[in-house]
Amino acid sequence: MKRFPLFTKLATIVFLALLLLVPLTLIRSLVYERQARGAQVTQEIAASYAGAQTLAGPLLVLPYVEHYTTETRERDGDGKWVITRQAHKRPGAVHLMPAQLDVAGHIAVERKHRGIFEVPVYELEATLSGRFDLPANPAINRNADNSTIAWGEPYLSLAVSDPRGFAAVPVLSVDGKPTLVERGSELGDMPGVHAALPAADARTPGRRNFHVTLRLRGTERLGLLPLAGDTHVKIDSAWPHPSFTGRFLPDPSTQQAGADGFHAEWSISALASDAARQFIARAADCKRSGCTDAVEDRLDIRLAQPVSIYSLSDRALKYAVLFVVVVFAAFFAWEVLQGLAIHPIQYLLAGLALAMFFLLLLSLSEHLAFATAYGAAAAASTSLLAYYLSHVMRSWRGGLSFGACLALMFAALYGLLASEDNALVLGAVLAFALLAAFMVLTRRVDWYALARPQVRSGGTA
């Protein structure tokens, strides 16, 4: 009977490598499941505390009612023209943005725990000060040229994403005079607060200074809308891992972040921001909470977690196939060079030990620091494989050498995970080095001799 040992062996190795994709895929799905559970915990905490916040305002609202008459001409039964006049009332509002807005705030962060998951929540203590420049004749989009305007009671409005976040009633004053703050922004269904103003103060042309003090709670993210002609924001916190997103980033000359926390400042002109128009458009048809989050021209501060164990575990799993290929290639090279047969079951067990590394990494990292979890999982897998292979290879020296090489590979993988920006070049260099090592070790192998069919002789009856 003829058989082809080289091709049979290679086909078996490839089949086993493909078979190991099953447990690796299951482990990756477990990573996604735990990641989704973490996101669910964040939503649960936000539902019982306060969600991510976006602060908008204050802005001055001048409500009015436009009265106008329309005429229609129709012929009666005698053919004469009959003019019918009908009175109309159309409510509307003029929205005046601050000419200048200065925001100074401090973010105090607390970690909320639920099971093994933790979510950063915060309380913002801030002051908002600035001024309105009131025009003599606010621009109104009239329905009729001869209409008359009846002005209503003006008010200042401050909008947020989640009104449960108000830790106390905001304190608001205009030109040094305190005003009563009430629930609701009075901007459609947009949540927030408002404060009524005397009509004389709001309708008299000139400058009006305002000052707001507030405490606002939220989860993970704080956003601000630059509605004023000139917006200046100063925010600091003891949280060491901020992530600045949105359409506007902090001024590089003022941005500081380190182990003691961060400090950031923004200076945004209305020439660079369309937030005011976007905000008014959202307020006109707002039927739900979170309308402020739909404004694109914004600045955001996210309380990022220093290490996302699930993203790191997922990135590590992307190199799992490379680990399996390298280990199987090392086994095959050992067979060829030493003339020692390694059974397919032994290949499979070694591959499963590698797969267990990624499962250990995921489970341990939920309870330990990622570096500690990685070291423990790598040490366990390396020790097991070194011990097992010393018997498979019938050589303690061979098993220890293989374990040392595997430890170097785990160290290289950790370097890839720690240096995300350089992961591609480091991974390419590692793959090239492994291929080069295999080529050098097998450079004298006569592959034709290995591929020749062997004939197994049988007895005659």
What whole-number percentage of the chain has pLDDT above 90? 35
Where exactly does CATH 2.60.40 map onto the chain?
A: 54-303
β strands within 146-229, DSSP E: 148-151, 155-159, 171-174, 177-179, 181-183, 192-196, 206-219, 221-224
- How do residues 151-186 score in pLDDT, each as one tens digit? 888 999 999 999 999 999 999 999 889 999 999 888
Predicted pLDDT at 456? 46
How far, rounded to the nearest angstrom, does the alpha carbon of residue 361 sit from its chain's CA centroid?
23
* Lowest mean per-residue pLDDT among 40-49, 178-187, 337-346, 364-373: 337-346
- Evaluate if residue 394 carries a pLDDT over 80: no
Neighbours of 353 (CB within 10 A): 18
Check residue 106 and give its pLDDT: 96
* Tens-place pLDDT, residues 363-393: 999 888 889 999 999 999 999 988 988 887 7
Give the model's pLDDT for residue 306.
Answer: 67
The yes-or-no verdict on residue 311 having pLDDT over 70 is yes
Least confident range of 156-160, 237-241, 288-292, 439-443: 288-292
Which of 68, 66, 61 has its CA nearest to residue 93? Answer: 61
**Residue 40 confidence (pLDDT) above 60:** yes
Flag the least confident range among 70-84, 179-193, 211-225, 344-358: 70-84
Contact criterion met (CB below 8 Å) for 37 and 118: no
Distance in angstroms (rounded) separating the CA atoms of residues 269 and 454:
82
Angle at which helix 370-392 crosses helix 396-418, to 10 degrees, equals: 160
Token pair listed for 290: 């979170």
> Is the whole model's pTM more than 0.85, yes or no?
no
**From the CB of residue 430, how many other CB atoms can be counted at a distance below 10 Å?**
19
Q: What is the C-alpha radius of gyration for the chain, rounded to an integer number of angstroms?
A: 35
Reduce the secondary structure of 353-420 to three states and give it as a string. HHHHHHHHHHHHHCCCCHHHHHHHHHHHHHHHHHHHHHHHCCCHHHHHHHHHHHHHHHHHHHHHHHCH
Tell me which residue has tokens 């601000």. 224
pLDDT greater at residue 346 or residue 158: 158
The dotted CATH code for 54-303 is 2.60.40
Residue 32 or 136, more confident? 32
Computed over every residue of the chain, the mean pLDDT equals 84
